[in-house]
Amino acid sequence: MILINLLPHREAARKRRRDQFNASLGAAAIAGLAICAGIFSWFQSAISAQQLVNNTLQTEIKQLEAKIKDIGELEAEIAALRARQQAVENLQSDRNLPVHLLTELVNQLPDGVYIAKMTQTDQSVTLNGVAQSNERVSELLRNLSGAKTPWLNKPELIEIVTGTVNLSSKDVRRVSNFMIKVQLLRASEVEKMVAAKAAEAASGAASAAAGGKI
């Protein structure tokens, strides 16, 4: 017996393939959307976590800036207090400076030199005087150079002018009128200078002793 299929089997097969393709395409689309949703969710979570970290860092930075500002204000106050303390110490030590100045001038003034006027501005002292000769003025400059006195330093000859002095109606002598500026050191500066010279002398003695042993 011969069976003849009169149904459109080819059409049915094509329809089944289309249905399968559409189903696969839909499944792939759903899977793609699910993957995209997962990736988007992961990125959103990472961004949220990073924003939380950034907010925390910003809060800590503001706290540190406030602390740094407080520290800066404290340092400024400490510096101001130290400046005031130094000013008070300088005033206390400067009370005896006129005594040291007059004492050193008496000790370092060569014979034949006379001081006619003396003015002081801060630590600068201006001496106006009369000397028997220019050599006497040079000797005074050497005495005030700091080699013989720790209280006076950096003498500077401002001017020297030749003049005359009438000792009597018949005795007229030539003299040198001079102006010298010299620096008057504070007690703290003198102490540092003396300590430095002592340390230098001790170092030289130690070096000499070591050289003698060799």
Does residue 146 have a pLDDT over 80? no
**Two structure tokens written together for 11:** 């059409």
Q: What is the pLDDT of residues 64-100, one digit of tens each?
A: 888 888 888 888 888 888 888 877 776 776 777 888 8
What is the predicted pLDDT for the residue at 113?
92
Check whether 214 has a pLDDT greater than 70.
no
Helix and strand element counts for the chain (H, E): 4, 4
Q: pTM of the entire structure?
A: 0.53
**What is the tens place of the pLDDT at every residue in 16-26?**
788 787 888 88
Question: What does the angle CA 95 – CA 98 – CA 103 come to, to the nearest 5 degrees?
Answer: 130
| pLDDT average, residue stretch 145-151 | 79
* Higher local confidence (pLDDT), 175 or 97: 175
**What is the rounded average pLDDT of the residues 142-157?**
85
Question: Burial level of 50, CB count in 10 A (0-12/13-18/19+)?
Answer: exposed
